A and B are shown apart, each in its own frame.
Chain A
Amino acid sequence: MIYKLYEYRQLLKSNVRKEIRGKYKGSFLGVLWSFVNPLLMTLIYAIVFPFILKNSQEHYVTYLVIGILPWNFFTTVIAQGTTTILCNAGIIKKVYFPREILPISVATSGLINFIISFPIILIFLLVSGIGFSYYILFVPLIILTEYIFLLGIIFITSAIEVYIRDAEYIINFFINMLFYATPVLYSADLFPKKMSWIFKFNPMATIIESFRDVLFYKSMPPIKMLLIVLFMCIVLLLIGIKIFQKLERGFAEEV
């Protein structure tokens, strides 16, 4: 499989480019939307949230941005990744190429988008006076963990979606639910002690907490937990590839 992918590396490259550029083609702001979108989302939460809850978090907007960008990365990739096989039915039926290219390019274009919009976080850190620390060096590791996690998920969901079209809606529901089980808007400490086990089973919680630790609190991330999560994500990815390869033989007939 690795060899096949290497042979088709150009397709991977141009498909990623197509995903990124094709998405905003025809709009005025173009790729700028990947900055504007998360900023607008942050703005909404920053306005609404302090009103509802008596919020005592210092630098709340910065705090928020650090949670929202990785979360955005997560949801866009899953939403696009799940339907990627169906959306590319045209080429799947007509041309042979390693089908793995499709989910990989969705995840990778999401990753590139995330990296492009990452300076937003840095600007917020700078402007709010929080500044940086050496712990920022952990950021690539955390991003990598999220990327592998996403790849594993969409390998499975994109393949299942071909056979069961409900998958998309079920997954949507789970993502909405997961949003509240992930410390995007608030810190994990605000959760009742009894409920905190949820975070242990939610890789996104560890990922976002780690981002906060190294960027916002300028401290060590929960490194042991992070490595466990990374390991689990790799296992998930391997299972995902197996499932994908099992199901891909029928793609051209089912889409």
Chain B
Amino acid sequence: MKKNKDFAIKVCDVSKTFKLKYDRHSTLKEKIVFWKNNKTEFHTVLNNVNLEIKKGETIALIGTNGSGKSTLLKLMTKIIYPTSGKILTNGKLTSLLELGAGFHPDFTGRENIYFNASIFGLTAAEIDSRVEKIIEFSELREFIDSPVRTYSSGMYMRLAFSVAINVDAEILLIDEILAVGDQHFQDKCFSKLHELKNSNKTIVIVSHSLGAIKQLCDRAIWIYDGQVRMDDVCDKVVDEYLKVCG
């Protein structure tokens, strides 16, 4: 692997194995009683994956369900750790694995903006300067001071997406959340992603909406059975993928 400083994410020989237990023995009694016949099986989700993502690239991860895309994304955010291998990241990283993680239903929209943005590691001053932009983007101004539990699920998603997209991270990891809100809001999210792309942010997207990916991404990586099956220009990979899996 070349040694250069302009990588955003480097994945070196990463494998991830999950323990599969038929009965999870999480209480002490069960652990003692069943310690012998603990049917533990290992399931290898990722097998020796090597990737290098350069700064400013927009990359799509595609593949069938269970192929390990989301696991790879989780590894990149350091939510879980690889069984072997190493992952290096360079720059401030934000992941949108699920929208609205950590929203407190009793708090108002505004309070949740503060809380959610602080999960992404922003300071109070940074949030202050963004809060108007976030509210503007979410189009929820009338409701921003009512508790989130009174929101419809669409409003909830819009608020969450608005927070996440305005964090201004250098690396953005997105897991299948492009389908937010109505057509109008989706278009808006899309143009925001284009804007981020043009401002030289690194974006990694996991998605099944291939049309959208073709428009947005330069490069696509096809993960198949825990390994990189193809890594090339987006159109090529998507066409090949459709040929095999379509």
Residues of A near any B CB (own CB < 8 A)? 7-11, 13-15, 18, 22, 25-26, 88, 90-97, 163-166, 249, 252-253
Pick the contact of A95 from B26, B28, B97, B107 — CB < 8 Å?
B97
Most chain A CB within 10 A, of B28, B29, B79, B106, is at B79
Find out whether the CB atom of A18 lies under 8 angstroms from the CB atom of B29: no
Contact residues of B between 74 and 114, Cβ < 8 Å to A: 74, 77-81, 93, 95, 97-98, 101-102, 104, 106-107, 114
Nearest-Cβ distance from residue A4 to partner chain B, whole angstroms: 9
Contact residues of B between 49 and 87, Cβ < 8 Å to A: 74, 77-81
Most chain A CB within 10 A, of B78, B106, B119, is at B119
Find out whether the CB atom of A91 lies under 8 angstroms from the CB atom of B101: yes
Pick the contact of A10 from B19, B29, B123 — CB < 8 Å?
B123
Contact residues of B between 110 and 128, Cβ < 8 Å to A: 114-115, 118-124, 127
Find out whether the CB atom of A164 lies under 8 angstroms from the CB atom of B121: no
Find out whether the CB atom of A93 lies under 8 angstroms from the CB atom of B79: yes
Q: A22-B104, A22-B106 are in contact. Are A252 and B120 (CB under 8 A)?
A: no
Please report the total number of B residues contacting A with Cβ < 8 Å: 32
Residues of B near any A CB (own CB < 8 A)? 18-19, 26-29, 31, 74, 77-81, 93, 95, 97-98, 101-102, 104, 106-107, 114-115, 118-124, 127
Q: Within 8 Å CB of B106, what residues of A?
A: 22, 25-26
CA distance A164 to B24 in the complex (A): 11
CA distance A166 to B26 in the complex (A): 8
Q: Within 8 Å CB of A95, what residues of B?
A: 77, 79, 95, 97, 101-102, 119-120
Find out whether the CB atom of A14 lies under 8 angstroms from the CB atom of B29: no
CA distance A94 to B98 in the complex (A): 6
CA distance A7 to B119 in the complex (A): 11
Find out whether the CB atom of B118 lies under 8 angstroms from the CB atom of A166: no
CA distance A164 to B25 in the complex (A): 9
Pick the contact of A166 from B29, B79, B95 — CB < 8 Å?
B29
Find out whether the CB atom of A94 lies under 8 angstroms from the CB atom of B79: yes
Which residue on B lies nearest to A8, using beta carbons? Answer: B121
Q: Within 8 Å CB of B114, what residues of A?
A: 14
Find out whether the CB atom of B107 lies under 8 angstroms from the CB atom of A11: no
Find out whether the CB atom of A13 lies under 8 angstroms from the CB atom of B124: yes
Q: Within 8 Å CB of A166, what residues of B?
A: 27-29
Q: Within 8 Å CB of A8, what residues of B?
A: 118, 121
Q: Within 8 Å CB of A97, what residues of B?
A: 119, 121
Which residue on B lies nearest to A98, using beta carbons? Answer: B121
CA distance A10 to B119 in the complex (A): 8
Most chain B CB within 10 A, of A10, A15, A253, is at A10
Q: A10-B127, A22-B107, A253-B80 are in contact. Are A94 and B31 (CB under 8 A)?
A: no
Pick the contact of B115 from A14, A94, A96, A249 — CB < 8 Å?
A14
